[in-house]
Structure 1
Amino acid sequence: MSTATATAARHAEAPARRRAFDWAPARTYIQAVIILIWCLAPFYWMIVTAFRDVGFTFDPTPFFTHVTFDNFITVFDESRGNHFARNLLNSLVVAGVTTIISLIVGVFAAYALARLKFSGKSLVLGFILGASMFPGVALITPLFQLFTNIGWFGSYQALIIPSISFSLPLTVYTLTSFFREMPWELEESARIDGCTQGQAFRKVILPLAAPATFTTAILTFIGAWNEFLIASQLSVDATKTVTVAIASFAGAQPHQEPYTAVMAAGTVVTIPLVILVLIFQRKIVAGLTAGAVK
């Protein structure tokens, strides 16, 4: 066969090859849909149950049927012993203060571990990471005795301080990794232009670290908002957070487990976090991938 004939034959076969369906993109979309359904199914069922009448709590229909808003009214009905608005405020105070303090301390600690030279730096970082692996359940009894002896039991301090101890290692580790990837030349240029080390940190480093700082703040806030173990043992009625309040929820009828009311409370607690993540998702992704590609 001549070269011209072989070339013509290849060109004739090319359209047939192009007509063949490529399954690779389809498999990717199918896998993504399966993972999405698997992750969102519990949240969807929670919302469906939250809007369902109490008499149809265990209706297997996976759609919005027998819709009512009575469950949300029950959640905020203080006559039944529920003080959910107060619990939301308590969680906001604890999570907000925890996030602010963790960021203030974490930014300076991470900068020192990443940019400054001093002996024992690796050991300090190792201790910080080791603290995050310590089981929280082992700290309940010592913390209970400590805060009872100093008169802090049931106060905001008793909830915020342990929460900071758990969130600070994550804050320091995340920001340390980011500061290490930041080019030294930026700080050196600021120093050459007459800035002190503090001014270079404030005017150059901090603005560039905004994506990572923002991402760390969101993760810290979510972790403090969802904390249950410590709050369940160190809080009283006046300082109960939403996670503790939901566990001891009172429904519309006595001697009946308030499944629909609990789902409504869970929806109220979850939706603000979802909205927060959706609004700032670009900044979160930018912070998580910061330093991955130079």
Structure 2
Amino acid sequence: MTPDRVRAPGRIWLRLAALLVVLNGTFPMIWIFLTSLKTESELTRRPITWLPLEPTLANYVRAFADQPLWLYVVNSLVVALLSTALSILAASLAAYALARLRVRGRELILAALVAVSTFPLITLLVPLFQIMRGLGLLNTYPALVLPYAVLNLPVCTLVLVSFFESIPKDLENAAMLDGCTRLGALWRIVIPLSAPGMFTAAILAFVNAWDEFLLALSFLGSQRMRTVSVGITLYQGEFAFPWPLISAALMMALLPVVVLIVLFQERVVSGLTQGGLKG
């Protein structure tokens, strides 16, 4: 048998495995979208209809009419963007220090970052709530921006360290010989060359902040400050769960993340693969 014939079964299995992974990741979103186009009566009929018999956009109209969904989306965007920017700024400085400077206990610090990133969020809820209440920040954007930035900092730092270490030091030395400060070399040389890693870390931070529910529910009690993850829970009643309506609201909540991933998918994939190879 030729080598190509020997490898053919292996390639088929790899493609099937890849197809299963793709279906596993996309089927929930597809099902939510199809549900959002159905009526309540069609959703409960037997046997189940996979495709809507009479597609309708009424659930999307109701999603914006029953609750201020646009306001929730805007609140989530503000919180996610601000916390992501703050995380990336702090993580860039921390990662550069760990990658370039002679920091005592560097390995211990990296191990601590890994350990901290695994802490269950529920264990931090009470102390964070007391801090925010003491600072008078409840029902304000900083009540979520600051905790999200801190919680995303370990992951962002770990991602960026591997990228910064891969950049030759000679480039920074040449920039500093030309009059750049070390901080200037970071912003003008290291960060532009680490663009895939920056995008990867930023999108991870953004998605984590966008999806977070527990802190948003606990720190923002005012309706005008609610984020979309909390706002979606308001569509259900005490005895009723209007799944088509909730699905329509979920699709609007997923839309910004999907657009972000589609726009920057090449940089994200590049950042994940390069980070894996260099780490």
For normalisation by structure 2, the TM-score amounts to: 0.89
Match of 1:207 among 188, 192, 207: 192
What is the CA–CA distance in structure 1 between the aligned matches of 2:245 and 2:229, rounded to whole Å? 14
Asked if 1:37 corresponds to 2:26, the answer is: no
- Are the equivalent residues in 1 in contact too, given 2:99–2:165 (CA < 8 A)? yes
Amino acid at match of 2:117: S
Classify 1:268/1:19 alpha carbon distance in 2 versus 1 (closer, same or farther; 3 Å): closer
Q: CA deviation at 1:128?
A: 3.0
What is the CA–CA distance in structure 2 between the aligned matches of 1:264 and 1:122, rounded to whole Å? 47
Q: CA deviation at 1:174?
A: 0.7
Which structure 1 segments of 5+ residues have no match? 1-12
| % identity of equivalent residues | 33
Deviation larger for 232-241 or 113-122 = 113-122
Asked if 1:168 corresponds to 2:138, the answer is: no
Specify the structure having the higher radius of gyration (Cα). 1
What are the superposed Cα offsets for residues 45-66 of structure 1, whole Å, 9 maximum, x if unpaired? 1000001112212341211322
Match of 2:256 among 267, 272, 275: 272
For 2:11, the equivalent position in structure 1 comes to: 25
Q: CA deviation at 1:21?
A: 10
For 1:259, the equivalent position in structure 2 comes to: 243
For 1:75, the equivalent position in structure 2 comes to: 63
Q: CA deviation at 1:18?
A: 8.6
What is the CA–CA distance in structure 2 between the aligned matches of 1:158 and 1:25, rounded to whole Å? 50
Instruction: Report SS of the residue matched to 1:248.
Output: helix
For 1:90, the equivalent position in structure 2 comes to: 75
Q: CA deviation at 1:266?
A: 0.7
Which structure 2 segments of 5+ residues have no match? none
What are the superposed Cα offsets for residues 34-88 of structure 1, whole Å, 9 maximum, x if unpaired? 22222222111100000111221234121132211111011100xx3x1111100
What is the CA–CA distance in structure 1 between the aligned matches of 2:6 and 2:124, rounded to whole Å? 62
Q: CA deviation at 1:125?
A: 3.0
For 1:216, the equivalent position in structure 2 comes to: 201
For 1:6, the equivalent position in structure 2 comes to: none
Amino acid at match of 2:24: W
Runs of 4 or more off by more than 6 Å in structure 1?
17-21
What is the CA–CA distance in structure 1 between the aligned matches of 2:185 and 2:107, rounded to whole Å? 24
Match of 2:219 among 234, 254, 266: 234
Classify 1:22/1:149 alpha carbon distance in 2 versus 1 (closer, same or farther; 3 Å): closer
Instruction: Report SS of the residue matched to 1:290.
Output: helix
What is the CA–CA distance in structure 2 between the aligned matches of 1:197 and 1:216, rounded to whole Å? 22
What is the CA–CA distance in structure 2 between the aligned matches of 1:231 and 1:42, rounded to whole Å? 24
Amino acid at match of 2:163: F
Instruction: Report SS of the residue matched to 2:235.
Output: coil
- Are the equivalent residues in 1 in contact too, given 2:163–2:278 (CA < 8 A)? no
Q: CA deviation at 1:250?
A: 4.8
Amino acid at match of 2:84: T
Q: CA deviation at 1:104?
A: 0.8
Classify 1:154/1:57 alpha carbon distance in 2 versus 1 (closer, same or farther; 3 Å): same
What are the superposed Cα offsets for residues 249-284 of structure 1, whole Å, 9 maximum, x if unpaired? 257xx9532111111111111122112111211111
Q: What is the total number of aligned residue pairs between the two structures?
A: 275
For 1:143, the equivalent position in structure 2 comes to: 128
Q: CA deviation at 1:247?
A: 1.5
Question: Superposed, which structure 2 residues align to 1:119-158 within 5 Å?
Answer: 119-158=104-143
Match of 2:51 among 29, 46, 63: 63
Amino acid at match of 1:137: I
